[in-house]
């Protein structure tokens, strides 16, 4: 038995305990300046190492051995194919395309190379070109299940989800690679917003392979779409148990903790994620937001500022930091951050409302009114802004506009008790006791806490409300409605 036979990966007696040991051994030889040609692995060994590296996502190691493979055999279509696959996984699409074309120059009818080229074209956005290759293959091999599966994947990328689903359901019925097919069917149902069916197919995949961290992650996403955040948390934790540095699962786990008001756990999760991705803006922004939700405003400001030091155009961080300054009564800094955020997103209703609230609390009522009106131009049915516009007009003594906006809000949301109460106050200012009583009565019937406001406030407005007060109390005790009694 010669050297190559002893070290061929297809033999059990090659003196290596595992593939990782074999890779380290040959990498040491390859990187040595004094290596002997006889010490280099043969083509079979290299191919097995490359296949292993691809299977465990060690693409850079795989590429190193592919390059040696091509040096030793520059006419190997398989070597060009495998290197194209690796370049594709490394998002080096132009290199991937160059190598797959080399493989096809050597073997023009190589099916796996044609399919790989179609998927690389998908990466580059040339979906129609990729689908044309697939359809050309299917013209000669219409029942080829491998090709049909690849076509379904390309159709999904082209947002032809229902066409992809039809192919996948067929492949499910012929029992083609169930785990992969189930996952792709689940993805299609996800894209079609059929989350229950999507969850069902991810569960089928887990029944086959309960140790796939990606399936657990996708299950978590589906439960999140369904509002089942506690189940999402369990799924993300399972995904992380299988791959502790899987950052998308950590990010979504933090979000799920935040959504269920488990703020301390959310903060801890985001901080752990930052150990793997220290410069990730979205993570820092969400961490800052969770600190703010937990009323840890100084910590929130610290992380919002870190975000802005990395990207000074990231407007959510200006908005969040402004909110924290506002909560700390640092109105000037808050206003400056709101204004900066509006430079980047002038049509943000939420920022306009927050700025308007600050201006109102700061005593700048007219500027606050302008902001609320701008917010209404963006969303004419926003109840918060309609009420605040009506209330400010009332405070300014513009009862015509105050009445118009209060009635507009009641038409939009009849059960909005504050709008009825405000309308009652407007009519009281106009000495229209009858209409005022109707509105106040309706407000109290919708929200009994308004009765205390009524008792405290209305005696100061007019002497005519002592009688109304008694009538309101009598009807409250009897449980009767007030509307139409006056």
438-477 per-position pLDDT tens digit = 898 889 889 988 878 887 777 644 455 555 556 555 555 5
Whether the Cβ atoms of residue 454 and residue 448 lie closer than 8 Å to each other: no
Residue 359's pLDDT is: 94
Residue 35 has pLDDT above 70, yes or no: no
Residue 34 has pLDDT above 90, yes or no: no
Residue 12's pLDDT is: 43
Per-residue pLDDT tens over the stretch 190-219: 999 999 999 999 999 999 999 999 999 999
Residue 36's pLDDT is: 60
Whether this model's pTM surpasses 0.85: no
Ranking 140-149, 195-204, 273-282, 381-390 by mean pLDDT, the lowest is 140-149
Percent of the chain with pLDDT over 70: 89
Give the burial string for 64-84 (b: 16+ CB within 10 Å, else e).
bbbebbbeeeeebbbbbbbbb
Contacts of 465 (CB under 8 A, 6+ apart): 428, 433, 458, 459
Per-residue pLDDT tens over the stretch 324-339: 999 999 999 999 999 9
Q: Using CA atoms, how far apart are residues 25 and 42, in angstroms rounded to an integer?
A: 14
Q: Using CA atoms, how far apart are residues 120 and 183, in angstroms rounded to an integer?
A: 21
User: Within its chain, how far is the Cα of 238 from the centroid?
Assistant: 19
Residue 484 has pLDDT above 50, yes or no: no
Residue 362's pLDDT is: 86
Residue 208: C-alpha distances to residues 180, 183, 204 (Å):
10, 11, 7
Percent of the chain with pLDDT over 90: 71
Q: How confident is the model at residue 412 (pLDDT cuts 50, 70, 90)?
A: very high
pLDDT, mean of residues 2-19: 49
Residue 7's pLDDT is: 38
Residue 481 has pLDDT above 60, yes or no: no
Residue 234 has pLDDT above 90, yes or no: yes
Q: Select the more confidently predicted residue: 85 or 471.
A: 85
pLDDT, mean of residues 132-152: 91
Give the burial string for 417-437 (b: 16+ CB within 10 Å, else e).
bbbbbbbbbbbbbeeebebbb
Per-residue pLDDT tens over the stretch 218-231: 999 999 999 999 99
């Amino acid at each position: 038995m010669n050297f190559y036979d002893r070290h061929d990966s297809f033999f059990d007696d090659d003196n290596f305990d595992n593939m990782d040991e074999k890779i380290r051994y040959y990498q040491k030889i390859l990187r040595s300046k004094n290596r002997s040609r006889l010490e280099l692995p043969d083509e079979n060994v290299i191919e097995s190492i490359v296949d292993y590296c691809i299977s465990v996502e060690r693409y850079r190691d795989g590429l190193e051995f592919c390059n040696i493979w091509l040096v030793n055999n520059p006419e190997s279509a398989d070597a060009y194919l495998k290197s194209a696959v690796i370049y594709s996984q490394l998002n080096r699409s132009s290199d991937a395309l160059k190598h797959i074309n080399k493989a096809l120059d050597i073997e023009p009818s190589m099916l796996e190379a044609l399919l790989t080229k179609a998927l690389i074209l998908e990466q580059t956005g040339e979906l129609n070109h990729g689908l044309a290759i697939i359809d050309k293959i299917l013209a000669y091999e219409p029942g080829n299940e491998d090709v049909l599966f690849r076509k379904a994947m390309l159709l999904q990328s082209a947002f032809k989800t229902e066409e992809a689903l039809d192919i996948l359901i067929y492949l499910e019925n012929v029992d083609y690679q169930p785990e992969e097919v189930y996952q792709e069917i689940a993805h299609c149902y996800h894209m079609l917003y059929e989350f229950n069916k999507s969850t069902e197919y991810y569960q089928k995949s887990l029944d086959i392979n309960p140790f796939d961290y990606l399936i657990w992650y996708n299950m978590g996403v589906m439960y999140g779409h369904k509002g089942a955040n506690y189940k999402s948390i369990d799924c993300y934790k399972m995904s992380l148990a299988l791959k502790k540095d899987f950052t998308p699962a950590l990010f979504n786990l933090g979000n799920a903790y935040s959504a269920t008001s488990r703020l301390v756990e959310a903060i801890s999760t985001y901080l752990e994620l930052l150990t793997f991705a220290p410069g990730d803006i979205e993570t820092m922004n969400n961490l800052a937001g969770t600190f703010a939700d937990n009323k840890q405003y100084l910590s929130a400001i610290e992380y919002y500022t870190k975000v802005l030091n990395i990207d000074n155009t990231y407007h959510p961080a200006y908005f969040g930091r402004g909110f924290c300054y506002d909560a700390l009564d640092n109105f000037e800094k808050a206003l400056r951050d709101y204004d900066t955020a509006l430079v980047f997103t002038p049509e943000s209703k939420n920022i306009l409302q927050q700025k308007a609230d600050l201006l109102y609390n700061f005593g700048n009522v007219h500027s606050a009114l302008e902001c609320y009106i701008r917010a209404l131009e963006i969303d004419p049915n926003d109840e918060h802004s309609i009420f605040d516009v009506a209330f400010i007009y009332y405070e300014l003594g513009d009862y015509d506009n105050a009445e118009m906006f209060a009635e507009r809000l009641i038409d939009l949301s009849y059960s909005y008790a504050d709008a009825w109460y405000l309308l009652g106050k407007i009519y009281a200012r106009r000495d229209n006791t009858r209409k005022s009583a109707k509105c106040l009565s309706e407000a109290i019937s919708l929200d009994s806490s308004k009765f205390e406001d009524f008792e405290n406030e209305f005696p100061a407005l007019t002497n005519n409300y002592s009688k109304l007060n008694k009538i309101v109390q009598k009807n409250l005790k009897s449980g009767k409605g007030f509307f139409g009694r006056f």
